[in-house]
Structure 1
Amino acid sequence: MTKPKISIQQVGKVFGEGSHRVEALKDVSLDIADNEFVTFVGASGCGKSTLLRIIGGLEYHTAGDVRVDDRPIMGPGADRAMVFQHYSLYPWLTVMENIKFSRRLRHGRENLSEADVEAASGRADALLALMGLTAAANAWPNQLSGGMQQRVAIARALMGRPEILLMDEPFGALDAQTREVMHDLILHVHRLEKPTLAFVTHDVEEAIYLADRVVLMAPRPGRIDTIYEVPLPAEREQDMKHTPEFLRLKKEILARIRETSGMKTDQGMLDQLNMQEAV
């Protein structure tokens, strides 16, 4: 059997002590295959982002084991890159400079040759073209729309050819039309660059459209509740969101999120709200 790219075994995470102790994750186990696209959904407080940060080496788990290529995660690494909801671009750097910034730090530490630097410039140019940002190479971040800024952040994350791309609600601040464009862009990036991709979102439709598998997490403490295989072909199109199998899975996941979060609403309450609105 092929070893997983990411192996998460009985992971727990506790914040604080005593009366301030919060168990954010408990007994989380999941294997993610090489080049797989996995999305994480669930109610607020279910530990989605915490788990992603643990994989990225930005948080340490307090129980269990997390490995990449069968090696324990000891902290951040060049094999993993992370994209956050907030674009986190350096306002004093141009688009091109933002993309090349992490490579410039490596050049300073590792004394890379001029040939390496030239190759990095070629890589940055290719990523600019991939993201449709060539014309904006010398622009400042504050001159860009939200969608363009996030494309810069994704290009910067891809600069070092990471084997694993971690994305924490990267499109949460974008409007619906821009989100659809970004969905197709990240699927194109996944096909082209072939990273293993773990993606946290509150948007169930987004989760289904992008993923090979959707992992639903439940809160208090955070744990994996259900894993859904997505019954869509590898090549995705926006019209697939209206197919019966897509809508059926969306309805099932939304219902389960309501159940696990304790937000299930009975018909009597809905009827009462409707009566109040009619008055």
Structure 2
Amino acid sequence: MSAFVSLHNVNHAYGAGTALAVENLSIEVGEGEFAAVVGPSGCGKSTLMKLATGLQFPQSGSVTVAGDRVTKPVKIAGMAFQAPTLLPWRSTLENLLLPLEIVEPHRSEMRRRKVEFAARAKNLLASVGLRDQGDKFPWELSGGMQQRASLCRALIHEPKLLMLDEPFGALDAFTREELWCVIRDLQAARKITVILVTHDLREAVFLADRVFVMSSRPGRVIVERKIELPRPRDLEVTFTPEFQDIVHELRAHIVKARQ
């Protein structure tokens, strides 16, 4: 599998004279792969995400996405975070359309293709169980519904890479598991490359093809664990001994990394 996202021997700090956030960080994710990144708090997981999307640039080393060196924000990437950050004065449908109003080439085509774009947004909402919710404002939706809408907004411009930074961390356990299944189905249907940053080891094992464990700060990958549980996976797999064994194995790596 050729690398779709590649970070090679990357060093990065936030400002001159500050401690490195990541050091000699190398990771490769194949096209269409679902990768998860776990590790101790402050290990550089979110820094990895910023480097891969061109929100930060490394002090040394190289970052490439889809064969191109990252020297500016990556247009083929979509991002979703722990907080949905939907604009409260815009309807849910209008929130989904916002990226198309800002980013080229969609911005120049918005007036001519608005009906098409609105239909795309409605189809996305329907795919995550939010049919007929487009006219509601974010404050009229539950936290789980807002996060579903946030995922749709990250996908509206049909990105080839989806970066998820703790997207379900603020939700209750049942809602979180529902959204695991939503993103599982979206990724399977669209064959999109996904990198998930999470503290939740069950989440990582359930969703990912491979899990990368990072060291304490400055972060680097210390373990790469392939998840060979058969797909499609349903939530019942999380109760099996095989699943629990992988979770415990990853937890042991993180405990060791913190020492």
TM-score by length of 1: 0.89
In the alignment, the residues of structure 2 paired with residue 174 and residue 238 of structure 1 have an alpha-carbon distance, to the nearest angstrom, of 17
Matched, 1:37 2:26: no
Match of 2:97 among 97, 100, 103: 100
Amino acid at match of 2:21: A
In the alignment, which residue of structure 2 is the partner of 1:5?
A: 4
Query: 1:66-215 to 2 correspondence within 5 Å?
Result: 66-106=63-103, 110-112=107-109, 115-215=112-212
How far is the alpha carbon of 1:95 from its aligned partner?
Answer: 0.4
Question: Could you list the per-position Cα deviations for residues 167-205 of structure 1 after superposition, in whole angstroms to 9, with x for gaps in the alignment?
Answer: 000000000000010000000000112210000000111
Matched, 1:17 2:16: yes
Amino acid at match of 2:74: G
State the secondary structure of the residue aligned to 2:109. Answer: coil
Percent sequence identity over matched residues? 36
Question: Could you list the per-position Cα deviations for residues 205-241 of structure 1 after superposition, in whole angstroms to 9, with x for gaps in the alignment?
Answer: 1110000001000112111010101121120111111
How far is the alpha carbon of 1:135 from its aligned partner?
Answer: 2.4
In the alignment, the residues of structure 1 paired with residue 228 and residue 178 of structure 2 have an alpha-carbon distance, to the nearest angstrom, of 22
Match of 1:53 among 37, 50, 53: 50
In the alignment, the residues of structure 2 paired with residue 107 and residue 64 of structure 1 have an alpha-carbon distance, to the nearest angstrom, of 29
- Bigger mean CA offset, 34-43 vs 240-249: 240-249
Match of 2:215 among 193, 215, 218: 218
How far is the alpha carbon of 1:254 from its aligned partner?
Answer: 0.6
In the alignment, the residues of structure 2 paired with residue 75 and residue 170 of structure 1 have an alpha-carbon distance, to the nearest angstrom, of 24
Q: Is the 8 A contact 1:107 1:117 kept in 2?
A: no
**RMSD across aligned C-alpha pairs, in angstroms?**
1.5
How far is the alpha carbon of 1:113 from its aligned partner?
Answer: 6.7
How far is the alpha carbon of 1:248 from its aligned partner?
Answer: 0.9
Question: Could you list the per-position Cα deviations for residues 36-75 of structure 1 after superposition, in whole angstroms to 9, with x for gaps in the alignment?
Answer: 0000101001100110111111111111000012101122
State the secondary structure of the residue aligned to 2:51. Answer: helix
In the alignment, which residue of structure 2 is the partner of 1:266?
A: none
How far is the alpha carbon of 1:243 from its aligned partner?
Answer: 1.4
In the alignment, the residues of structure 1 paired with residue 14 and residue 102 of structure 2 have an alpha-carbon distance, to the nearest angstrom, of 32
Structure 2: 5+ residue stretches without partners: none
Amino acid at match of 2:12: K
How far is the alpha carbon of 1:106 from its aligned partner?
Answer: 4.2
Amino acid at match of 1:64: G
Q: 1:90 to 1:252 in 2, by over 3 A?
A: same
Amino acid at match of 2:67: D
Q: 1:222 to 1:167 in 2, by over 3 A?
A: same
In the alignment, the residues of structure 1 paired with residue 78 and residue 145 of structure 2 have an alpha-carbon distance, to the nearest angstrom, of 19
In the alignment, the residues of structure 1 paired with residue 58 and residue 148 of structure 2 have an alpha-carbon distance, to the nearest angstrom, of 30
Amino acid at match of 1:198: I
Q: 1:145 to 1:222 in 2, by over 3 A?
A: same
TM-score by length of 2: 0.96
How far is the alpha carbon of 1:122 from its aligned partner?
Answer: 1.6
Q: Is the 8 A contact 2:77 2:162 kept in 1?
A: yes
Match of 2:242 among 230, 242, 245: 245
In the alignment, which residue of structure 2 is the partner of 1:27?
A: 24
- Bigger mean CA offset, 56-65 vs 112-121: 112-121
- Bigger mean CA offset, 131-140 vs 213-222: 131-140
Structure 1: 5+ residue stretches without partners: 263-279
